Chains A and B, each alone.
Chain A
Amino acid sequence: GAGVSQSPRYKVAKRGQDVALRCDPISGHVSLFWYQQALGQGPEFLTYFQNEAQLDKSGLPSDRFFAERPEGSVSTLKIQRTQQEDSAVYLCASSLARRFNQPQHFGDGTRLSIL
């Protein structure tokens, strides 16, 4: 497709369950970012990949959060033993190159609700 695709769009899980969120970036985009957005707030950085290398995971809130991009394209964000405070919209963004003024193209996000 032409844009960043995220799936599922909505995910409801019970507290304690593991979830996996998928991101298909724009083909050929080197950089991939994950952000977490609480309701009515701006997104917050979680982690960054350059191709398959995870160069920055400083925004991951705990060791229950894990992200991978094994072949440098599709990325998965996994949350283990989910808690209610994990409820948020998870956004994925990709950009063509690793430059500070390169536009980031966002997907429509996965809305995660933990019951």
Chain B
Amino acid sequence: TQLLEQSPQFLSIQEGENLTVYCNSSSVFSSLQWYRQEPGEGPVLLVTVVTGGEVKKLKRLTFQFGDARKDSSLHITAAQPGDTGLYLCAGASAGGTSYGKLTFGQGTILTVHP
């Protein structure tokens, strides 16, 4: 069974601070995706990382995939209240009959106070 450990589970910070969310596994994933979910809505894809060591930037968000493709991190610079939400990492499996099946971490609830 593939598992993704996401930390921290809760994060409460002031506007302007930086933060990092971690996603770790003992399993190798074909790709790792980061989602953001608002209350009452479905998860919305932020980024997909595929290559070990890959770094992607999306405005103030920086995503990194570990060299061994077992872990990932999300770093937010100068957080804003609009960044508040549930952040989810998800690993995609390849092969077998569930190509693209996602295994999600437990999520990080981020609250950014003005």
Give a binary string over B44-84; 1 marks a CB under 8 Å from any A CB, 0 the rest: 11001010000000000000000000000000000000000
A100 touches B97 (CB 8 A): no
Please tell me which one of the listed residues B4, B41, B92, B106 contacts residue A101 in the complex, with CB atoms under 8 A apart: B92
A101 touching B30 in the complex, CB below 8 Å, given contacts A31-B100, A45-B103, A56-B98: yes
Please tell me which one of the listed residues A33, A42, A103 contacts residue B101 in the complex, with CB atoms under 8 A apart: A33
B109 touches A104 (CB 8 A): no
For A33, list chain B residues within 8 Å (CB): 100-102
Interface SS majority for chain B? loop
CB distance from A34 to the nearest CB of B (A): 11
CB distance from B78 to the nearest CB of A (A): 26
B107 touches A42 (CB 8 A): yes
A31 to B101, CA, bound (A): 10
For B100, list chain A residues within 8 Å (CB): 31, 33, 48, 95, 98-100, 102, 104
A109 touches B (CB below 8 Å): yes
Interface SS majority for chain A? loop
For A35, list chain B residues within 8 Å (CB): 102, 104
Give a binary string over A29-41; 1 marks a CB under 8 Å from any B CB, 0 the rest: 0010101000011
Chain A contact residue count (CB 8 A cutoff): 29
A103 to B100, CA, bound (A): 9
* Chain B residue with Cβ nearest A9: B40
A-B contact pairs, 12 of them (CB 8 A): A4-B42, A40-B107, A42-B104, A42-B105, A43-B102, A45-B103, A55-B98, A95-B100, A100-B92, A100-B99, A106-B43, A108-B41
